[in-house]
Structure 1
């Protein structure tokens, strides 16, 4: 052991003046590890570890001249060639025996740079040792059984050739050879999937602010702003901005509702499809699967059959597009009318072989239970041979039904698979029970009276899952008149769903991680969303979080997005890129307009 002798007058002087240079740090530099002794004004290298496992120690002997005693501070390190460092600290005092403190390396977070360097793709095979994986993202029951109270499993994950080639419970035994990264407990997720968004109107809120924040005024805003969408570059640039954010946050698949494809203006409809087709092709090469939903106000499927037929033909002519509808508050219709409308929708979906994605029961009216009517229509469609996937978005008013109706609906949905329910925590929380809501959109809530919302606007996530109805969560609206905030970060969406739905104890956070991974992927029909052998190595590593209480505490801008086994480096787009589209273009919104769902005018 190399020893540095230091003279101090008293122990107090040692504690106050010289404590800084008996600390040590390990830093990674050029593939070698240095142990450095820190002095108040200088640092010097006191040891170098080579390519093999090496043990090294150094220390300081402190003599207190006035008190006639000696203290020896000794540091010991074991540096392994797999990048791990074990540190021991031994403190010896004359006449007082020896006190030893073990410093657990798990208390040191994984440096982001170390993760990125390891994941640059230089190694043919890379083992991510000691990563923490949510149990819902694992398929092997033996791995899932090892989950802790938070629903997290400590794993070793092997990557090779852009694919996951091994997943096992973490083995603490040191392994020889290169191609290994000790992740020090960092959380590892599959790449995210965002199954419900609105990219055509995103990032336009600065030029068209919702006066009340209600659905009624959001519809008025939409018909006010929509004519601008045909301007050169408007939709393209806003949609591209959003997709770059998705890439940066670690998303691999996005479904967007193609608002504008139901417009009376043929040029507008074509413009939306052209932009979607171009972005779908562009981002497929960049790692995002982009899907679209062609929506029509539900009654028009039966009441305007020619329009509906053209709408379905347009949807079927574009790759990656499914058929959709804005259902509205069905409690205001004539008896049997909604059955007729849904039957017409499913008939067209069957004719063209299209899946279906609905906005349904997105309101605060306990008299509205469109999903109950939907069950009957889908039962009839299944009998006629329709076997497509059906995604139900929002379904918020189901939470306001009696427990008997809720139980009936949940049980019927479970028998109609494939059916998926997608909640949208940010938008549902922001819109439901909002001042300014009025019929026929929802139950009246006075616009000008102070009133705090009384419910969360969240559908029955726990009850649906308990009945084996798949549930997912999505961003929905981002920076538009339906929801003025957000950034297409599924981690934030998931955090909100966990908090709003009290999912952390039902039974654990990790049990619900599939809301924005596997369950969302199933809703889109893109597969994956799990960490399993044979799956693409499309992952998100969180060096700043080793457990869910850490993951949900911060935004984690230091996350490492991995595509096909290699770390990617992207930047979030700067909001100023869109200044010319919004600055000085604030619209005056006529909130007295009578607008139906889907921004459909009554005439």
Structure 2
């Protein structure tokens, strides 16, 4: 394999010299920074980061790869995905790109095609892509209306075991909360999620029953020791205040588990005083928020023949300023909710910087696909660079932000336990068999 900007030595002990590192991802080492970037030598031995030293000070007897000021990042965290939906666009497209169109197309495909073999094939394809891009931790939401919950969670458990040494996996169920009215179904769903070591999730809707639904969900989560991850307010309707209701429910129920909410689009449409009241409650309740900028720009404010008027994303800066843990993620991949994407956190980060204005200053922006989502997912051992941790690193030729954000960084190198992995992406033709022979 030929590397375009450097060649990591095939040795048990070596140095990545003259590396540029986002300081927000680094523990146990401090140095002057510029735009949140600092210089260091990274000593790697037997698959671990043994030391982080000032540039040029690593032991001279060690083999070395000169980064020539290229960036070194920890591997990435993609905390909100839909591995079970991925790559169904060719079977069931969403011709008008609308949210209702996406719902109908996914429903039709799920009811017709989502056997265990089909779900597994598409999950594996997605994971091979994510791994090649440098991701080491993913949370996926799994459509969980009966009987799909039993099919998909069983597949998930098998895939999680098969991938445990490459990509750590978590799963949350996804179902409309009004389905909890079917007590037998909900009890079975909770049992399936608990036995899979998953999370309770769901779709929230503006309804008079929401108060009771949230209480029921949190009781079930408390009784079974489960965390919660919800899809919330994925709409431009400013009257939808589900996020506020969730924060109030956490406080009312004294829920002690982790609660993550995704999307929260309507928050950006509300009057400032209304939005700030909700943000204060979100912070008080200890919620974490993940924004899905690419998917929400695709779906929100889409009308035939009309240019969109807003970006579809939540009040990311205001939430972060209030102390709310905030991250970004891929969301859907080549399915009716988002026609594009490849589970590449670098693409997500690059677009998030532009869409959410995470720049000027950009000093701590790298956290949104590394340290913050890792902490939200309870895996502080991932998404950070520190002595004693596995040498799971992503190497870039880009030396500064203007270079990093201007190209897709397709020449990156991924190290896992200090070894270069094969970054070959799976060919879409591999999916032809599950689409009846062709993607054309």
2:133–2:423 Cα contact (<8 Å) kept:
no
Over residues 106-147 of structure 1, what are the superposed CA-to-partner deviations in whole Å (9 max), with x where a residue is unaligned? xxxxx82674441x3x133x221111111221235733xx22
In terms of fraction of residues, the more strand-rich structure is: 1
The aligned residue for residue 323 of structure 1 is: 200
Shift of residue 257, structure 1, vs aligned partner = 0.6
Choose which of 432, 442, 446 in structure 1 pairs with 2:300: 432
Choose which of 397, 402, 407 in structure 2 pairs with 1:549: 402
User: TM-score, normalised on structure 2?
Assistant: 0.95
The aligned residue for residue 177 of structure 2 is: 298
1:132–1:155 Cα contact (<8 Å) kept:
yes
Unaligned runs of 5+ in 2: none
Cα RMSD (Å) of the superposition? 1.9
Aligned pair 1:256/2:140, yes or no?
A: yes
The aligned residue for residue 482 of structure 1 is: 337
Separation in 2, partners of 1:370, 1:270: 28
The aligned residue for residue 361 of structure 1 is: 233
Q: 1:568 to 1:305 in 2, by over 3 A?
A: same
User: TM-score, normalised on structure 1?
Assistant: 0.70
1:193–1:253 Cα contact (<8 Å) kept:
yes
**1:12-411 correspondence to structure 2 within 5 Å:** 112=3, 115-118=6-9, 120=10, 122-124=11-13, 126-140=14-28, 142-143=30-31, 146-148=32-34, 150-171=35-56, 176-231=60-115, 233-259=117-143, 261-263=144-146, 266=147, 268-285=148-165, 287-301=166-180, 303-319=181-197, 321-328=198-205, 330=206, 333-334=207-208, 337-382=209-254, 386-411=255-280
1:300–1:341 Cα contact (<8 Å) kept:
no
Shifted more, 459-468 versus 491-500: the winner is 459-468
**Match of 1:194, SS?**
strand
1:361–1:396 Cα contact (<8 Å) kept:
yes
Over residues 386-410 of structure 1, what are the superposed CA-to-partner deviations in whole Å (9 max), with x where a residue is unaligned? 3111111111111111111222222
**Match of 1:537, SS?**
coil
The aligned residue for residue 432 of structure 2 is: 579
The aligned residue for residue 95 of structure 1 is: none
**Match of 1:255, SS?**
strand
Separation in 2, partners of 1:467, 1:140: 27
Separation in 1, partners of 2:16, 2:170: 32
Separation in 1, partners of 2:260, 2:115: 32
Choose which of 458, 468, 479 in structure 1 pairs with 2:313: 458
Q: 1:183 to 1:478 in 2, by over 3 A?
A: same
2:80–2:330 Cα contact (<8 Å) kept:
yes
Separation in 2, partners of 1:464, 1:168: 35
1:116–1:560 Cα contact (<8 Å) kept:
no
Shift of residue 305, structure 1, vs aligned partner = 3.0
Shift of residue 232, structure 1, vs aligned partner = 6.0
Separation in 1, partners of 2:133, 2:370: 13
Shift of residue 161, structure 1, vs aligned partner = 2.5
Shift of residue 415, structure 1, vs aligned partner = 2.0
2:429–2:438 Cα contact (<8 Å) kept:
no
Separation in 2, partners of 1:226, 1:569: 32
Over residues 438-492 of structure 1, what are the superposed CA-to-partner deviations in whole Å (9 max), with x where a residue is unaligned? xxxxxxxxxx4x2011000111111111111111111100000000101010000
Unaligned runs of 5+ in 1: 1-110, 436-447, 587-603
**1:498-577 correspondence to structure 2 within 5 Å:** 498-505=353-360, 507-508=361-362, 510-527=363-380, 528-542=382-396, 544-577=397-430
Separation in 2, partners of 1:367, 1:186: 47
Shift of residue 168, structure 1, vs aligned partner = 3.4
